[in-house]
Structure 1
Amino acid sequence: MENLSPKWRGFLQHFGTYIIVIGALAMINLFTDSGEFWFQWPALGWGVAIAFHLWGILLASMKNVSGKWHKFLGHFGSYVIIISMLALINLFSEPNNLWFQFPAVGWGAALVLHFFGLLLDGGKTGAEQLVQDRKDDLEQKQDEPAAQTEPATRKRQEKMRPRPVEYPLINKGQTNPVIHAHLDKALAYQAQIEGLIKATTTPNARTRLQELAAQVHEWVEAIEDLVQRIEGFQQNNLIRQDLETVPQAIAKLETQLKQETDTDVRNQLERTLTNRRNQLASLERLQNTMKRAEIQIESTLSALGTIYSQLLTGESTDHVADYSRLSSEVDEEVRLLQDRLEALEEVKLGRA
């Protein structure tokens, strides 16, 4: 038991309490002359809570599952648990009238649509989608008449005018002071929260707070992962060079296109310019994703500070336990950001 994580210890304590209490209710039911078995109803209701507790722990352990599939598994688990409960209620109350099949079929149809939506949506990775967008752009340009190409090119030049690099880059071996300050603060919150939990003497409160400590640990791990990913991009020499040279290359190609009169050369310049603009768009997506990751780190840090304040002021354990909902929301947002970063890692920012 000592090697178990706080989450699993909390679940086993929850499950043990369930067995003891429901067992006691069953004994009371059997030894009284009530004429019916009523203990099964609290057993069913509490059993659903046990099932959701277990499924939540299993979902949280699926680190390699993407955000979309993580949501589907949550949906599927909820379906199995709720429909199973309805089926048992049906069998215990009206065994000759199997009404539970109707919500099972209705919800099952929604689950199937969710599944096929993911299959259709997940056919392309982020990198493949960018490549497809580039091909579509190129084909559209090639199909346009020469007379319409020049006005469209002018409009696009105004829209796609290269902008200066806004996101800070750092040299190899250096660290980003802002996000490292956030990480240090998160580690400090984690240490303080763990210290307060160790000082708790009430067994029930300690169990709940140990689960909270496990969630805090996962948050801090997610922050560390995002910090490493952000710094990896910021220290990437190829990205650094592209951020400097691609806007210059676009400006040069635009100038050449204005001056060129040969149709074949113009077509080649336009294709190259399209590729460069797509490359710049990929770089800008990368910068925006890193900015959003920093914002998410700060948001997570704020949530940690809120939890620490609640514990420090000695508010009720029940109120603090409400943060399990908040933790799942933050975990999901962090997971989605990691998915975006992984998709951008697949994008090959090649030179035209």
Structure 2
Amino acid sequence: MSTSRMDDLQKRARRAILSHALFRLESGLTIALTLLLAWFLPRPFAWWRGWYWLALGGIAWVLIVITSITDEASAQAALMQMLSEAPRPPRLRSPHYREKVEQALEYRQKIEQALLGMRAGILRDYLLQTMVDLSEWLRMIYALAERLDVYEHDEILQRDKAAVEEAISALQRQLRTAPDAATRAQIESLLAARREQQESLTKLQGLMAQAQFRLEETLSALGTAYSQFLMIGAQKAESTAHQELAQRMQAQVQELEDILTSMQQVYDASHSPRSAEKREEE
């Protein structure tokens, strides 16, 4: 992980802990109680001054903030809140892909629980840094499952798959009976566009099959990462193990990003012959 990303994560963790300390329930109740007492009971004793409530409330609030920042349990609660800001799973129509996304989310939750169960120290800081890569990995898994789900329910795509072969056959028949060279040239142009579309659809179908296998593989890799995370947390691995784990996570992210890019490019190409299809209808 680069130094800039490490610094960013540390800043996020500090902000999360400070925000938790400032806005936790006890802080809000202290402020509210102070204001109520200062307004409704300004002088409970003859020697009492109204601003005493504000001073005592301010001191109590500062003590709550300080103890929250230094308290291990409060710090863990703040980190849990920060980690929960991960990408949310997409809404999927396919039960199969919903199951895969839930499996990935379960691994993430287990890793978070293991991380927050560790004592503060350098090792936990190292593993906290890997959460950035884990979040990106989960985001790619969500994106891949969502893309597969969308493509499988794309009515236009399904229609094109069924229509392209019929359109090619019809154009071939028209080509054989074309009355002149100009008509043949136009039909040949349309036929080339349809064949290109057919090739793109076939390629997309192959990429979708690869993506489905890739989704299974990356979930297995996520399970392996969870086991390695536990080993590192138990200090049963070498000191460089967290770096190797981060590198493997980054490699998974890159591979998923590559296949998503390829799928989008081929999907766009499969829809590109629209103008040719329009000319065909005319």
Q: CA deviation at 1:307?
A: 1.2
2:240 is aligned with 1:322: no
Aligned partners of 1:250 and 1:277 also within 8 Å: yes
Partner of 1:299: 217
Partner of 1:310: 228
Structure 2: how far apart are the matches of 1:292 and 1:228?
15
CA-based RMSD: 3.0
Aligned partners of 1:300 and 1:330 also within 8 Å: yes
Partner of 1:195: 113
Partner of 2:265: 343
Partner of 1:238: 156
Deviation string, structure 1 residues 330-350 (Cα, Å, up to 9, x no partner) = 122222223224434544341
Aligned partners of 1:307 and 1:320 also within 8 Å: no
Change in CA separation of 1:194 and 1:174 when aligned onto 2, cut-off 3 Å: closer
Q: CA deviation at 1:325?
A: 1.2
Letter in 1 for 2:259: L
Aligned partners of 1:7 and 1:214 also within 8 Å: no
Partner of 2:253: 331
| SS in structure 1 at match of 2:93 | coil
Aligned partners of 1:6 and 1:213 also within 8 Å: no
Q: CA deviation at 1:243?
A: 0.8
Partner of 1:210: 128
Structure 1: how far apart are the matches of 2:103 and 2:238?
24
Aligned partners of 1:209 and 1:321 also within 8 Å: no
Deviation string, structure 1 residues 173-223 (Cα, Å, up to 9, x no partner) = 972333332211111111111111111125121111111223212211111
Structure 2: how far apart are the matches of 1:275 and 1:12?
51
| SS in structure 1 at match of 2:162 | helix
| SS in structure 2 at match of 1:274 | helix
Alignment of 1:60-71 (within 5 A): none
Change in CA separation of 1:215 and 1:294 when aligned onto 2, cut-off 3 Å: same
Structure 1: how far apart are the matches of 2:181 and 2:12?
74
Aligned partners of 1:186 and 1:301 also within 8 Å: yes
**TM-score (normalised: structure 2):** 0.58
Alignment of 1:98-177 (within 5 A): 175-177=93-95
Structure 1: how far apart are the matches of 2:168 and 2:210?
27
Structure 1: how far apart are the matches of 2:12 and 2:106?
29
Q: CA deviation at 1:306?
A: 0.8
Structure 2: how far apart are the matches of 1:204 and 1:177?
41
Deviation string, structure 1 residues 7-55 (Cα, Å, up to 9, x no partner) = 7344899xxxxxxxxxxxxxxxxxxxxxxxxxxxxxxxxxxxxxxxxxx
Aligned partners of 2:164 and 2:194 also within 8 Å: yes
Change in CA separation of 1:177 and 1:9 when aligned onto 2, cut-off 3 Å: same
2:148 is aligned with 1:227: no
Q: CA deviation at 1:250?
A: 1.0
Q: Where has structure 1 moved over 6 Å in runs of 4 or more? A: none
Change in CA separation of 1:256 and 1:346 when aligned onto 2, cut-off 3 Å: closer
**TM-score (normalised: structure 1):** 0.47
Structure 1: how far apart are the matches of 2:109 and 2:146?
21
Aligned length: 189
Give 1 or 2 for the bigger CA radius of gyration.
Answer: 2
Partner of 1:178: 96
Aligned partners of 1:247 and 1:280 also within 8 Å: yes
What percentage of residue pairs aligned between the two structures are identical?
A: 25
Letter in 2 for 1:325: Q
Letter in 1 for 2:184: R
Partner of 1:280: 198
Aligned partners of 1:257 and 1:266 also within 8 Å: yes
> For structure 1, which segment, 275-284 or 340-349, has the greater mean C-alpha deviation from structure 2 after superposition?
340-349
Structure 1: how far apart are the matches of 2:228 and 2:154?
41
Aligned partners of 2:201 and 2:267 also within 8 Å: no
Change in CA separation of 1:332 and 1:338 when aligned onto 2, cut-off 3 Å: same
Change in CA separation of 1:175 and 1:270 when aligned onto 2, cut-off 3 Å: same
